[in-house]
Structure 1
Amino acid sequence: MTDAALSPQATDGAVVRVALGDRAYDIVIGHGVLREAGARARALGARKVAVVTDENVAKAHLPTALGALADAGLDARAVTVAAGEASKCMSTLAEVTDQLIAARIERGDLVLALGGGVVGDLAGFAAAILRRGVRCLQAPTSLLAQVDSSVGGKTGVNSRYGKNLIGAFHQPSLVLADVDTLDTLPPREFRAGYAEVAKYGLIDDEALFGWLERSWEEIFAGGPARIEAIAASCRSKAAIVARDEHEHGDRALLNLGHTFGHALEADVAYDGSRLVHGEGVAIGMAMAFRFSAALGLCAPDDARRVERHLQAVGLPTSPKAVPGGVSDADTLLEHMRQDKKVSGGRLTFILARGVGRSFVAKDVDADKALAFLKTELA
C-alpha cells in the first residue's frame, strides 16, 4: 500500500469482495450504511430478521437497525444480551438460540449481528447452529469488529479452558461496516480495535504499516484516512480468507499477537476492566516481535519500531502493563497450550523476520518460550 491508495472512492466509502465462490459476499464500508440494512436484507430474500445485540449497542444503534428493517417491510425482532466478554459463553448462546427459535427464524431468514466482536461471534455461531444453518448479516459497530472479527466466518464462544475453543466457520451473507457507529465508541475501545489494523501491516505489508505510522492521528480523528484504514484491513483479510478459509495454512497469520494475547486474556479471566481483546493483541504483537528478536529471526530495531508505534497510539506493549499484574511464566505457558493452533501438543506461534514479514512457526521449543516469558515478567 502507498499513500496513492487513498483513492476518491475510498474517501467516500468502499466495497471489498470476499471471493469464496458461491459463498462470496461484500463488505460495504461507509457513512450511514446501517440505514441500508432493510433494503439489503430484502435483497437477500429474507422475510424475518432477528437482530442480536448487546445492551450498550442497543441504546445507540438498535433503533436505526429496526427502523431500516421496518421501512423495508420486514418482520424484525431484537434479542439483547449483556455487554462484555462474559456473554460469549454457552449459557448465553443457549438463551439466544432459544429466543431465535421462539421468534420462528427459519433457514431463509436472517440473523443480524449488531455490535462488536462479542456479539458478532455469538450471533454468528447461533446462526451457524440454528436449524443447522441460518444466514447471518454482520453489522459491526466497533473498529475491531469492522476490520477483523466480522469478516471471514469465524464464530464461536469461549470455554473455561480458553478463548474461542467452541465454534464453527459460518460465512456471513453480507457485512455492513457503518463508520458512523465508531463515533460512539469509548476512546479505549477504538484504540484497542486499532491494534488489529496495525496487525495487517505487520503480517505482510510494510508499506501499510509505514502509512499507519504517518497517518494514525488522521485515522483516530475520522474522515477519509479512517475509511481507507478499514478498507485496507478488510482487503488484506479478504485475500487471506479467500486463500485459506478454514485456517489450514497461512490464515493462521491473522493470529499474530494472539497466542500471547489470548493467554493474557485467559489469565485475567476475560475481565475487560483489566484487559480488552485489542489490548491483549497489542501486547501480544510486541511480544511476538521481541520473541522473534530473541530467537535471532528479526532485528531488535524491528521490535522497537513496533513498540514505538503501538505506544504512540496509547496501546500497552508489555504484560507488566496489565492492571493488577499477571501470573507467572509457567501459568501463562499453560494457557498457551490451550491455544487453537496447538497441534499434537506442540506450540505454534506467529513470528516475524521483520515488519511485514510474519510467518507461522510450528513446534516452537517450549523451554525457549518459557525462558522468554520469564524475561518479559522480570
Structure 2
Amino acid sequence: MELKEQLKNLSERIKSLKDSVNTEEATKHSFIMPFISTLGYDIFNPNVVIPEFTADISKKKNEKVDYAIMHDDDPLILIEAKCHTENLNHHATQLERYFTVTESKFAILTNGIEYKIFTDLEKPNRMDEVPFFSFNLLELKDRDIKEISKFKSENFNIENIVKSAGNKKYISGIKSIFKEEVKNPSDDFARFFASKLSDKVLRQNVIDEFKGYSKIAFSEIVSDMAQEKINSLKSKLSVEISSDDEKEVEDTPDDGIVTTEEELQGFFIVKSILAENINLDRIHARDTKSYFGVLLDNNNRKWICRLLFNTKQKYLSIHIEDKKEEKIALDKIEDIYNYKEQLQKVIQRLDS
C-alpha cells in the first residue's frame, strides 16, 4: 500500500476515533504509534523504537521522552507526545531540553493530529525554536505527503533532509508572517509602505491609516490572483467538459442545456481549490438542465458539488454522503472560496 493511501486511512481513523480518545496514553496508542508504523518502523522492536526513552537533563535524572527512533544504537528521532486536544505551542521547551542531551538529529512534537518537526539548523545540537516542517494529518496536502515520505525508514537520508530543511523552514516562516500581516498589518509593515508612498511625517495616525490601506490592498491582491488563476485555467483548458459529455452535446444539440460563463467561473474556482489535493485531470464537469455538476473521475456516484446558478439566488450544493448534500446560498460566485475545507474533505472521502 502506498504512503498516500496509508496516511489517508490513518486520517479517517483519527476522524472516527478522536471524540472517544480523551487521554495522552490513548492518543499515543490510537494515533501516534500507527503513524510511526506507517513510516516503516517496527514499533514492537525495542532496538528500533524505544518508548519512554531516558534523557537525563543536568541534575534531573530519569527524564523520559515518549519515543526514540534508533539508528546504530543512537537515538535519531525523538518524539514528544501530547493528547490530541493539547495546543502544541505550549510544549516545545520540554522537547528542546531532551534534544540537547542526546545525539538525536530530529525532534517531533505531536498531539497525534498536528506534527512539528525540528532540527538544529541555527546552532549544532541546539533544537531550533521554529520547526522546519509542520503538517496536520486531517488536512494533508500532496506536498506534505512528499515531505513525510523522506522520513520513511527505507528512504531516510539525514543529509538530504537537512539540506532541504533550511529552505522549508524559511519558506514556512515567510508564509506564516505574510498570512499574519495580511490579516493584521503591523506598524513596521505599514510604515514601510507609508515611507514609500507618502511624504507625511510617520506619526501613529499615519501608520494606522496605512494599516487600513495595506489590509484592503492585500485583500484585492488575493482576489486578483484568484481571478488570474481562473482565467489561466480557462485559457489552457477552454471548456473543461469530458469527451463523453461533448459527444452527448453533439448528438443532442437541442437538449436545452446551456453552459453559462458563471457556471464555468464557479467550476474553475472549485478546480483551483482542489488542485492542492488531487490531479486536475481527475476533476470533470457535467452540465444538466437543473445544475452544473463537478465530478471525481467522471463518475456520477463521485459527485463533489453542484452549482445551482439557474435562478436569481445562486447555491453551492456540497456532497456530504450518499443521498445527502449541504445547500449553501452564495452572495457572489467568489464565496465558493469560503468553503475550501468542506470541498477538500469531500475529495478525501471520495478518494479514500
TM-score of the superposed pair, with normalisation by structure 2: 0.30
Q: Which has the larger radius of gyration?
A: 2
Greater length-normalized contact order (CA 8 Å, ≥ 6 residues apart): 1
TM-score of the superposed pair, with normalisation by structure 1: 0.28
